[in-house]
């Protein structure tokens, strides 16, 4: 069903009802957003993911298209999300010698960061009076989207809520992350990359790759290790602390 102001446009109405339009729609808006990003001299404020999302959301609203229909038509992109994550191994391989020398500090820092992210999320939701369902959905928000959705489903939360939160977190991290790190005196690209990878996930890593391959490599490593630690730590943390946080 379409909104009234599109009732006189049968071609657009037919297109909106066809799920096959999801992929070209998404790609078209992203390419437009990417062009604007480059025209703005790669300003983090002109984030192509944010602009692309805004274009898709506006189109879905104007055509009164359900998100479920759009998502079903964009399964190919959803599949490629995991593939793109695996492809981050390429810049990691290019920085392999540097990574070997800092393996232990990296593992310890990412493990501590992943645990802190999960605990802070759960305690903040509990303190603000959030529901148990919200806690189950957002316990793993500080990791990449496919992992967060899988953990949310495992904890009987809402994968869609987890995905939206991860994306919003990633966009904010991509826009403000590097600036905040510089303001706090953190200028080492290794530390910056790991922090961006943990806090801003795939979108932040994409931004890091635009700055430099070294920064992107460490961001990809941070994101990958964070996904691993989050998948291992969050379920037991929830099952141990969850009952106290819900009733507290």
Number of separate domains in the chain: 2
The structure tokens listed for 12 are 């657009």
Per-residue pLDDT at 154 exceeds 50: yes
pLDDT score, position 100: 74
Domain enclosing residue 42, as ranges: 1-73
* Per-residue pLDDT tens over the stretch 60-80: 888 888 877 787 777 777 677
Whether residue 5 is contained in a domain is answered as: yes
d(CA 227, CA 198): 8
The structure tokens listed for 82 are 């995991």
* Per-residue pLDDT tens over the stretch 102-135: 778 888 888 888 898 889 999 998 898 888 899 9
pLDDT score, position 242: 83
d(CA 36, CA 28): 13
Same domain, 189 and 95: yes
The structure tokens listed for 17 are 């009802």
Same domain, 65 and 148: no
Same domain, 115 and 195: yes
Per-residue pLDDT at 96 exceeds 80: no
Q: Estimate the crossing angle of helix 22-39 against helix 48-62, to 10 degrees.
A: 140
- 13 phi, psi to nearest 5 deg: -60, -45
Query: How many Cα neighbours within 13 Å face the side chain of 9?
Result: 13
Same domain, 49 and 105: no
pLDDT score, position 9: 46
Same domain, 65 and 126: no
* Per-residue pLDDT tens over the stretch 207-228: 888 788 778 888 888 888 888 8
Whether residue 243 is contained in a domain is answered as: yes
| Domain boundary pick from 46, 73, 100 | 73
pLDDT score, position 13: 46
Same domain, 117 and 208: yes
d(CA 36, CA 14): 29
The structure tokens listed for 221 are 């490593």
Q: Are 142 and 230 in contact (CB under 8 A)?
A: yes
Same domain, 67 and 113: no
Same domain, 100 and 56: no
Whether residue 80 is contained in a domain is answered as: no
Closest by CA to 114, choosing from 236, 247, 242, 217, is: 236
Whether residue 25 is contained in a domain is answered as: yes
Same domain, 68 and 182: no
Per-residue confidence band for 2, with pLDDT thresholds at 50, 70 and 90: very low
Same domain, 32 and 121: no
| Domain boundary pick from 39, 73, 107 | 73
Same domain, 32 and 104: no
Whether residue 81 is contained in a domain is answered as: no
Whether residue 23 is contained in a domain is answered as: yes
Whether residue 228 is contained in a domain is answered as: yes
185: left (phi over 0), alpha (psi -120 to 50) or beta: left
Per-residue pLDDT at 12 exceeds 60: no
Whether residue 78 is contained in a domain is answered as: no
| Domain boundary pick from 73, 108, 132 | 73
Residue bearing tokens 């009234």: 4
Same domain, 162 and 55: no
């Amino acid at each position: 069903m379409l909104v009234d102001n599109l009732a006189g446009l049968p071609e657009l109405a037919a297109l909106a009802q066809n799920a096959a339009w999801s992929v070209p729609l998404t790609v078209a808006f992203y390419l437009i957003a990417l062009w604007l990003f480059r025209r703005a001299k790669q300003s983090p404020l002109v984030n192509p993911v944010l602009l692309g999302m805004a274009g898709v959301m506006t189109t879905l609203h104007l055509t009164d298209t359900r998100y479920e229909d759009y998502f079903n038509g964009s399964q190919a992109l959803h599949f490629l999300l995991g593939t793109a994550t695996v492809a981050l191994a390429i810049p990691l391989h290019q920085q392999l010698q540097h990574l070997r020398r800092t393996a232990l500090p990296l593992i310890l820092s990412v493990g501590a960061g992943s645990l802190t992210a999960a605990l802070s999320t759960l305690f903040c939701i509990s303190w603000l009076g959030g529901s148990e369902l919200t806690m189950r959905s957002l316990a793993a928000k500080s990791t990449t989207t496919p992992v967060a959705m899988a953990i949310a489903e495992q904890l009987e939360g809402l994968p869609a809520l987890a995905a939206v939160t991860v994306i919003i977190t990633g966009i904010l991290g991509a826009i403000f992350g590097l600036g905040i790190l510089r303001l706090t005196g953190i200028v080492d690209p290794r530390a910056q990359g790991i922090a961006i990878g943990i806090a801003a996930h795939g979108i932040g890593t994409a931004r890091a790759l635009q700055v430099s391959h070294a920064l992107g490599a460490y961001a990809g490593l941070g994101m990958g290790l964070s996904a691993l630690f989050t998948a291992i730590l969050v379920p037991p943390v929830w099952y141990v602390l969850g009952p106290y946080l819900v009733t507290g």
